[in-house]
Amino acid sequence: MIDIAIIGSGIAGLAAARRLAAAGHAPVIFDKGRGIGGRVATRRGDGVQFDHGAQYVTARDTAFAACLDDFLARGSAARWPDDARHDRIVGQPGMSALAKAMGDGLDIRQGSEVRALRRDATGWHLQLAGSDHHAAHVIVAIPAPQVAALIGADDPLVPLLAPVRYDPCLTLMAVTDAPAPFTSRLDSDDVLPWIAQDSAKPGRPANMLPAWVAQAAPCLSRAHLDLDPAGIAALLLPLLCDRLGADPARVRHAVGHRWRYARVTVPLGRSSLASACNTLHLAGDWCLGPRVEDAWISGRAAADALLGAMG
């Protein structure tokens, strides 16, 4: 019997786990992915790397700011001074370093998709592909639209999630040896509202060719949500080359990625949710807003609610 199981090792799940560990518990985290961090992700291969999910983090909450200060002091994060108006912080050598720092020392089971979560006489039954687990308490920290399939559409918590909305985001990762006209560009009127030279962020490996990440606007992403990675690259690459003034012949690498649930547009407006029996808690960015910080605050709030319920 596991005392506390956490489903999802995104920032919400990791923040919950850290809080519980600090209170003397030993939560077990299950994640279906190969890496940890969820949408805070870095893809590596062929001598290049890309932060293809969250680009940077900012902090308004003092506790989250203190957490980032700790990562800055330990070298797993760095300031990215490309915008004088915002204090942008990135993981180094990649955004996934933030998740790794948060997950340090925790019991995280990767490649472990929880297919169903049901209440039974002794607590909660977690059904995985090759194994089953029992837990006394569970925190579910996955995107809201995926919760019903996990806990059952008839669970009383599910209707509460109905108002939550996300925008999708098609993302292009590309390498070109053309000169870089800028290091990042935010233009909310463009079909590529965000373009960043990933390789120009601090702490990236030296001798990388200019590696670019471009994000498609929600309308463009929604219209082409069924494209595969090659199709996404074919759609977005001409747009990126146009914005960079780069000759397509100088592109060395291009691959796409689809984030079906990328940025929260309508959050729940509560920091976490709990079942009537107080042994199941839900957390995620969708509780509060579209940023990493929102996920972190929600995960901590779920852990605090669980600790309160455990007495």
- Interface contacts to ligand FAD, rule CB under 6 A: 7-13, 30-33, 38-40, 53-57, 113-114, 141-143, 146, 150, 169, 171, 215, 259, 262-263, 284-285, 290-293, 295
Token pair recorded at residue 86 = 């915002």
State which residue, 44 or 60, has the beta carbon closest to ligand FAD: 60
- Minimum Å gap between C-beta 157 and ligand FAD is 15
d(CA 233, CA 86): 30
Biggest distance spanned by C-alpha atoms of the chain: 64
Question: In angstroms, how far is CA 164 from the centroid of its own chain?
Answer: 17
CA-closest candidate to residue 295, choices 122, 79, 133, 53: 53
State which residue, 142 or 241, has the beta carbon closest to ligand FAD: 142
- Minimum Å gap between C-beta 247 and ligand FAD is 27
State which residue, 59 or 246, has the beta carbon closest to ligand FAD: 59
State which residue, 76 or 171, has the beta carbon closest to ligand FAD: 171
State which residue, 31 or 198, has the beta carbon closest to ligand FAD: 31
- Minimum Å gap between C-beta 299 and ligand FAD is 7
State which residue, 90 or 175, has the beta carbon closest to ligand FAD: 90
- Minimum Å gap between C-beta 213 and ligand FAD is 8
> Partners of 50 in the beta sheet?
43
- Minimum Å gap between C-beta 224 and ligand FAD is 15
Residue 159's CB is within 10 A of a number of other CB atoms, namely 11
Contacts of 203 (CB under 8 A, 6+ apart): 78, 90, 92, 93
- Minimum Å gap between C-beta 173 and ligand FAD is 11
d(CA 281, CA 169): 27
Q: Is 127 exposed, middle or buried (0-12, 13-18, 19+ CB in 10 A)?
A: middle
For 216-298, list the strands marked E by DSSP. 251-266, 273-274, 280-282
